Amino acid sequence: MNLTLKVWRQKNSSDKGHFETYQVKDISSEMSFLEMFDVLNEQLIKEGKEPIAFDHDCREGICGMCSMYINGRPHGPWHANTTCQLHMRAYKDGDTIVVEPWRANAFPVIKDLVVDRNAFDRIVQAGGFISVNTGNAVDANALPIEKHKADESFAAAACIGCGACVAACKNSSAMLFMSAKVSHLALLPQGDPERKNRVLNMVAQMDKENFGSCTFTQACEAVCPKEIKVTNISRLNGEYLNAAFTEQ
């Protein structure tokens, strides 16, 4: 199939940026979306033009590196999917596809479609862990955990930290990302001793990073490649209130 692509080009974080239009030909429906970009980049290199910078690594939907905003939706049209797993059979000959980077104050553009997501690391640094030094652990089966709680914790821990939730949110809020981490740890008995400080510190860090507030439109859940549920946000709010009112 032949396609028209309108791609955001931006030299660096201080450049204003603009859309450029490209034509790609003979794209196979079996290609992944990023392989289509590989084809385009090879074409640009041959023409002596600069290839388009985009983030990607594992190309199997788990590392969270790929991050394209495709026709107004993070990771494109498929449900519960990452850009790298989007395949070209989602499109038909003659389609026009608009591709932008994640847009959020907290995610400055580095180049073209590449953004800086280190803010997520800093939120985790603020409390997204259990303080247990190596070697301190007791036998793994000494602490039975109800299966449904372990499963629920796992479902939250499945977050890949891609930032699609932020990109989809009209307020650029990081609440789904953060609530996934808070839930993962709050649902487990191991996470209990630090649960109050964890949620207070992580929320404080999120605010410091210039993410917006949550108005619960649930756009985040709709685009999350790992189907992280907004019920985690409710849990986060509960955890936060409880911690804020009972803080020593």
Partner 1 sequence: MLNSKIPAGPLDKKWTDYKGHCKLVNPANKRNLEVIIVGTGLAGASAAAALGELGYKVKVFCFQDSPRRAHSIAAQGGINAAKNYQNDGDSVFRLFYDTIKGGDYRAREGNVHRLAEVSANIIDQCVAQGVPFAREYGGLLSNRSFGGTQVQRTFYAAGQTGQQLLIGAYQALERQVALGNVTQYTRHEMLEIVKIDGKTRGIIARDLVTGKLERHFGHAVLLCSGGYGNVFYLSTNAMGSNVTAAWKAHKKGAHFGNPCFTQIHPTCIPVSGDHQSKLTLMSESLRNDGRIWVPKEKGDNRRASDIPENERDYYLERRYPAFGNLVPRDVASRAAKERCDAGYGVGTSKQAVYLDFAAAIERYGRTQANIIGHHDATLEEVIKLGKEVVKEKYGNLFDMYEKITGENPYEVPMRIYPAVHYTMGGLWVDYELMTSVPGLYALGEANFSDHGANRLGASALMQGLADGYFVIPYTIGNYLADEIRTKSIPTDHPAFVEAEKEVSDRINTLMSIQGTESVESFHKRLGKIMWEKCGMARNEQGLKEAIVEIQQLKKEFWSNVKVPGKIEEFNPELDKANRVADFIELGELMCLDALQRKESCGGHFREESQTEEGEALRDDANFSYVAAWEYNGDSKWNLHKEELNFEIAKPSQRSYK
The least CB distance from residue 246 to partner 1, in Å, is: 22
Query: d(Cα 96, Cα 82) in Å, to the nearest integer?
Result: 20
Q: Residue 40 or 168: which CB sits closer to partner 1?
A: 40
Please count the other Cβ atoms lying within 10 Å of the Cβ belonging to residue 195: 18
Tokens in use for 11? 């030299």
The least CB distance from residue 215 to partner 1, in Å, is: 27
The least CB distance from residue 92 to partner 1, in Å, is: 15
4: left (phi over 0), alpha (psi -120 to 50) or beta: beta
The least CB distance from residue 35 to partner 1, in Å, is: 5
Tokens in use for 101? 């980077």
Q: Residue 1 or 217: which CB sits closer to partner 1?
A: 1
3-state secondary structure of 61: coil
Residue with tokens 């450049």: 15
Residue type, 156: A
| Chain center to CA of 164 | 4
Q: Residue 63 or 200: which CB sits closer to partner 1?
A: 63
DSSP string computed for 219-244: HHHHH-TT---THHHHHHHHHHHHHH
Q: Residue 144 or 245: which CB sits closer to partner 1?
A: 144
Q: Residue 154 or 170: which CB sits closer to partner 1?
A: 154
The least CB distance from residue 56 to partner 1, in Å, is: 6
